Structure 1
Amino acid sequence: MIRAGRAALGALALAVLGAACSATPSAERAPGAPTSTRVAAAAAAERSATTVAPTTTSPAPSTITSTLRGPADPAGAGDAYFPLLGNGGFDVAHYDVAIIANPPATTDIVVRATITAVATATLATFDLDLTGMTITSVAVDGGAATFTRYGAEVVIVPALTISFGATFVTIIEYSGTPARLVDAEQTVIGWQRVGTTSFVVSEPNGAHNWLASSDHPSDKAAFTFRIEVPSAVTAAANGHLMSAVEANGRTTYVWDAPEPMATYLAIVAIGAFTIVDEATHGNVHIRHVFPTPLASQLTSVFARTGEMLDVLTSLFGPYPFADYGALVIDARLGYALETQTLALFDRQIALSSSTDIFQVHELAHQWFGNSVTARLWRDIWLNEGFATYAESLWHERTDASFDIDASMRSLARRTFAPIRDPGPDAMFTRSVYDRGALALHALRIDVGDETFFAIVRTWVAERARSNGSTEELIALASRLAGRDIGPLVERWLSADPMPALTR
């Protein structure tokens, strides 16, 4: 994610954004504040979530503070930054998410989530993450299951113990207005509504305010969305539009995303949208979802998508998914987010003079963050450092006057905190983005272009549709370089003060 006016970008981007940033309204954070290209995360102090059950009508949704930290919990995925996120004992293979929405009359949604998973342990009970909402039923393998709720955890007891290695199917039905979930900066995450448009922004832990799930990036799964809405509006989601069937004034949209995806990358948007289908570019189906009044203008704004795909593919290897495009929200949100195959932009960013930079950043995330996802949140620099460096690589390939070494030297004159283990309060600071990009440039200088790009392409090829860690990237770089690259990378991630570039 990139946040407008708070440049989580390279030196060139900072220069380009200068004029725009000077016009940033006072409501946006100052440059010294954290710069989330996804939603800024992590509370400043430990806290517990307080959930107010929504009513069956449509009052203003309750507001809760995101439970981002807490005591170690065996139900979690083992991430020290967010110990209450994710769940052990199973690996989700597929989410089939059926949603009934009735905008603008109500903010309520009715959800039936069918979750196919493989047991990685013998399970007498297991947990799902879900905050707020009213659960009406839970079934496992066709049999009714009992459940108990503890904060954002739903503890499920199936009628029969699930054997190690068994595939099992959980169907959980629930409804209500998703609780208004905010992070430490009071940024709204999860399912939200602006005007008459509903949409999802879930990084790092907003998915469980609308989706019963294992809400951690280490548990990636395929998704199918079945979204029923009044025919006057359009529903969009990740992946490929399989069908849109109208009956009795309502339309059900089916979107299929077969490639594994972290829950925070799932996107649903409901509103006055036009789906703009473009010709297939190589093997990639390009389709955008634009606010209908802006569709013609935005089609021109995003006309370079194919060119960007060509350039990044030449650098990183084949695009990892079958579809790509932009979803633009007709509102001033102040950020863009790399939701998988359908990157989200707000109107301000999409129509800004620096839109190409934002577009390249979010497209690069499809390789770095989406296909290869940081296994633990402490390794967030692997997502943001690569996406930020991609901005400069784009200009290096498309602008003959651009000097990437000079740009990186200029950036290196700034002061950036260590990012090897930034802590949950600093995952989305500018240091993670820009120092991450500098670490990659330092590696490129050290090993040379041929080896550097071999490392990059091998990284995305070997870990496609999976996860990776800093240690694994160092091991790969050392293998391809024929020597230990660890000390170099560790200095650039951890040394205080930061090292100097050698050219």
Structure 2
Amino acid sequence: MSRSAPVVPALVLALALTACSGGVQGTPGGAGVRDPYFPKTGNGGYDVTHYDLRLAYDPGTRRLTGTADITARATTDLSAFDLDLRGLDVQAVTVEGRDVRWSRAGQELTVRPQDDLDDGETFHVTVLYAGIPVTITDPDRSKEGWLPTTDGALALGEPTGSMAWFPGNNHPSDKATYDIAVTVPKGLKAISNGELTAETTKNSRTTFTWHTTEPMATYVATVAIGRYDVTRSTTDGGLPVYVAVDPDRAAASRAVLAKIPEVMEWAQYNFGPYPFSSVGAVVDRADDVGYALETQSRPVFPGALDTPTLVHELAHQWYGDSVTPKTWRDMWLNEGFATYAEWLWEEDHGGDSAQDTFDALYDGDYFDTKEANEAIWAFPPAKQSSAAHVSDAPVYWRGAMVLHKIRQTVGDDTFYDIVQGWAAAHRHGNADTDEFTAYVEEKAPGKDFSGIWKDWLYGDGKPDRP
């Protein structure tokens, strides 16, 4: 005897299938984290914990070949997720070793795992890619990404350029550890962040392997390929120093680079313990790169550097690299601190006091031109008008003036407690402007900072005479 199957309503069937498959179905992760100035950068739905990048570069053809193994943790149930990658040709993508579907749209590489990822699940995605990397022109018209040089290439990432040479979650709010192996023609060197763990040569190609233990934002990851004179030393405290200099810049840079141990001792006294396992510098030709950048543990300098620039980029290792902004609107927390570090160095080494510098800026006597002196009042440091202005003068100079106003209000003892405590409280993390102002108020109870925040940090125009 047979009996026909009962009719099951579609909704009941769908709920039953969902229950059998392990719960709520995942949704695609966000394409962008809604940064106020770079909304398409970064991605939602996951947090990267480690990048393992294996790169090979031929300066003759300018072709880069890469394999990116990315370890991440889902922060929601995911049916798909995005990686940032601009240019380059994707050859294959796997998740947990299984081939998956993927698509490209602009800078978005959308990956669709065979099985949904559960909230909290750790997963591994591998991307094979190749091509001629692009150089990105920022909204402020500076160049970043992958910069071909006279004898190699230089990868610089602020604010969005890292996606030109590896896929990732390209936003400062997601920091990770790194292994970066770079294979180049024998005779060239490949410099990166952290520690050089291996150097091997085979078939006229040399591979340099670098390891970064401390969390690092994508924009301060770097690779420098070329002919470099390399020197290794240690500070009096035993901190390793690794310096790579283009031979044409070696003589002109020697005296300032020799100050690295002195600057580091001074910085640790003022800012607290150094947050990374080594320090150093990469010095390239000025016509290859037009600006210095605080690439983590190994800042990059164009041409022959000067002492204020060295102080600035090394101060960034605390403020910017270790304490990293949550969004690009918080850029002044990087540049204001690093610029004020220059003032403090001058004050401590027989130059103008920080008050002298503050007064000259306020009076319009600091720069050579009227336009440059007026530019620092174009907008408040914590409220840039657009992505084109995140690196403009107010972010640096008026940002430093905010710090000096805090120092005037609380006195030196409390000011240095704030400076060191801020670096310690957010070591290897992220922070924003609201957290900074709250921290200052907490550490100086009874002091009124409302005028500083209203007039100097957020106020339009030039504040009244202090």
Q: TM-score range by the shorter chain?
A: 0.7 to 0.9
CA distance in 1, matches of 2:450, 2:278: 36
User: Is 1:449 aligned to 2:412, yes or no?
Assistant: yes
Q: Percent identity?
A: 38
414-423 or 470-479, which moves further after superposition?
414-423
CA distance in 2, matches of 1:492, 1:184: 25
Q: Is the 8 A contact 1:368 1:382 kept in 2?
A: yes
The letter for the 2-side match of 1:114 is D
Q: 1:207 aligns with which of 154, 157, 162?
A: 162
The letter for the 2-side match of 1:360 is V
Detail structure 1 runs of 4+ shifted over 4 Å in the superposition.
Answer: none
CA distance in 2, matches of 1:186, 1:444: 35
CA distance in 2, matches of 1:376, 1:85: 10
User: Is 1:497 aligned to 2:452, yes or no?
Assistant: no
The letter for the 2-side match of 1:231 is K
Distance apart, 1:117 and its partner CA: 0.7
Structure (1 or 2) with the larger CA radius of gyration: 2
Distance apart, 1:295 and its partner CA: 3.6
Q: Is the 8 A contact 1:273 1:289 kept in 2?
A: yes
Q: Which has the higher contact order (CA 8 A, sep 6+)?
A: 1
CA RMSD of aligned residues (A): 1.6
CA distance in 2, matches of 1:167, 1:74: 18
The letter for the 2-side match of 1:499 is P
Match of 1:12 in 2: none
TM-score, normalization: structure 1?
0.81
Q: Structure 1 pair 486/459, CA: closer, same or farther in 2 (3 Å)?
A: farther
- Give runs of aligned pairs for residues 99-498 of structure 1, distance below 5 A: 99-103=55-59, 105-295=60-250, 297-332=252-287, 333-347=289-303, 349-350=304-305, 355-399=306-350, 402-414=352-364, 415=374, 416=377, 417-422=379-384, 423-483=386-446, 485-498=449-462
Deviations 1:420-472 (A, max 9, x none): 21032211111111000001000100111111111111110010111111100
Q: Is the 8 A contact 1:412 1:500 kept in 2?
A: no
Deviations 1:254-293 (A, max 9, x none): 0111111111101101111122101244142111011134
Q: Is the 8 A contact 1:442 1:501 kept in 2?
A: no
Q: Secondary structure at the match of 2:361?
A: helix
Q: Structure 1 pair 496/364, CA: closer, same or farther in 2 (3 Å)?
A: same
Q: Is the 8 A contact 1:478 1:486 kept in 2?
A: no
The letter for the 2-side match of 1:482 is P
Q: Is the 8 A contact 2:172 2:325 kept in 1?
A: yes
Gaps of 5+ in 2: 1-28, 365-373
Distance apart, 1:241 and its partner CA: 0.7
Gaps of 5+ in 1: 1-72
CA distance in 2, matches of 1:290, 1:218: 31
- Give runs of aligned pairs for residues 61-100 of structure 1, distance below 5 A: 74-100=30-56
Distance apart, 1:335 and its partner CA: 1.1
When the two structures are aligned, how many residues end up with a matched partner? 423
Q: Secondary structure at the match of 1:445?
A: helix
Deviations 1:21-68 (A, max 9, x none): xxxxxxxxxxxxxxxxxxxxxxxxxxxxxxxxxxxxxxxxxxxxxxxx
Distance apart, 1:156 and its partner CA: 0.2
219-228 or 486-495, which moves further after superposition?
486-495
CA distance in 2, matches of 1:256, 1:486: 44
CA distance in 2, matches of 1:372, 1:267: 18
Q: Structure 1 pair 94/470, CA: closer, same or farther in 2 (3 Å)?
A: same
CA distance in 2, matches of 1:106, 1:343: 27
Q: Secondary structure at the match of 1:331?
A: coil
TM-score, normalization: structure 2?
0.88
